[in-house]
Structure 1
Amino acid sequence: MWWLMFFSALSSATLLPGSSEVLIVSLAVREPEMAPALLVSATLGNTIGGYITFFMGWGAVVLGRRYTGWLPSEKEQARAMPWLKRYGWWSLLLSWTPVIGDALCLLAGAAKLPIIQSGLAMLVGKALRYAVLLYVAGFLGG
């Protein structure tokens, strides 16, 4: 079950569509004792997915090409760039957010932000999102 959660969270953090939030709560409803394992699995999968997107941005710059399929829309870029310029890798605490999260990861890679700090910011932001979701749903801390 946690593998399903891992791969759903991983795909949700890349440019592929996904809805890991719905899955984590659904699986926790089915087996509440698995909530901590689901939290870890979702966080790791989502962080690895964020890293994949980060390195897609990094690779697009390294290869000197602009892969239009990898780039966020101009609207997403317009929303994400001010965060990156102002807060640098700290902005990746918001990598879990809809609309700008994938753009932040991709543009952070293209901007060659520090890999370790960027990954830690993604990890913390994504873990907090899932932890709050499970807490509000009554599966953690209660």
Structure 2
Amino acid sequence: MVDLMLLLTDYGYISLFVTSFLASTILPLGSEGLLVLMVLGNFNVHSVVLVASIANFLGACTSYYIGLKGRTLLISKYMKISDKQLKRAEAYFGKYGAISLFFTWLPGIGDAIAVAGGVLHYSFSQFVIFVFLGKLFRYAAVAYFAIQI
């Protein structure tokens, strides 16, 4: 455990940034475990939440851009977003509008919602607001529950 904490002390925020970014793009990663480990390892909770939120948000922006440019090969092959998931995300947009962007933090459909935002040429300014708030909510909730343990 000492070696892990030493590694986190040296590369914690960088590792969290990279993991959180990739978790919101092409790789099926989860960044919550690292966030919890850092919170329990006495890292600054606000900094941890902010780094993870910004990185995950930037990953979602990458997904939006991929959707915007219509790179279906990346969407289906590398991001592993099925046509069914994408159609479901588009249905959310049709029904709930911009508020659906808040739910990009959800596992299973969150990446598809970000891609669908791009595919549908949704307003990037609204995308930025709702997606960042959703990501911030997600990581703040994970950190809060980690502290309660």
State the TM bucket, normalised to the shorter chain.
0.7 to 0.9
* Contact map agreement 2:40 2:146 (CA 8 A) in 1: no
TM-score (norm 2): 0.83
Q: Which has the higher helix share?
A: 2
Q: Deviation of residue 7 (structure 1)?
A: 1.0
What is the one-letter code of the residue matched to 1:90? Answer: I
Is residue 2:18 matched to residue 1:7?
yes
> Which of 50, 66, 76 pairs up with 1:56?
66
What is the one-letter code of the residue matched to 1:45? Answer: A
Q: Aligned equivalents of 2:121 and 2:27: distance in 1?
A: 22
Which shifted more, 47-56 or 66-75? 66-75
Instruction: Report Cα offsets for 1:40-64 as digits up to 9, x if no partner.
Output: 000000000000000000011xxxx
Is residue 2:72 matched to residue 1:67?
yes
* Equivalent position of 2:134 in the other structure: 125
How many matched pairs? 133
* Equivalent position of 2:3 in the other structure: none
How do 1:1-142 and structure 2 match up within 5 A? 1-30=12-41, 32-60=42-70, 67-71=72-76, 72-138=81-147
* Contact map agreement 2:40 2:147 (CA 8 A) in 1: no
Q: Aligned equivalents of 1:33 and 1:130: distance in 2?
A: 14
Q: Aligned equivalents of 1:127 and 1:25: distance in 2?
A: 15
Q: Aligned equivalents of 2:67 and 2:74: distance in 1?
A: 11
The alignment's C-alpha RMSD in Å is 1.4
Q: Percent identity at matched positions?
A: 27
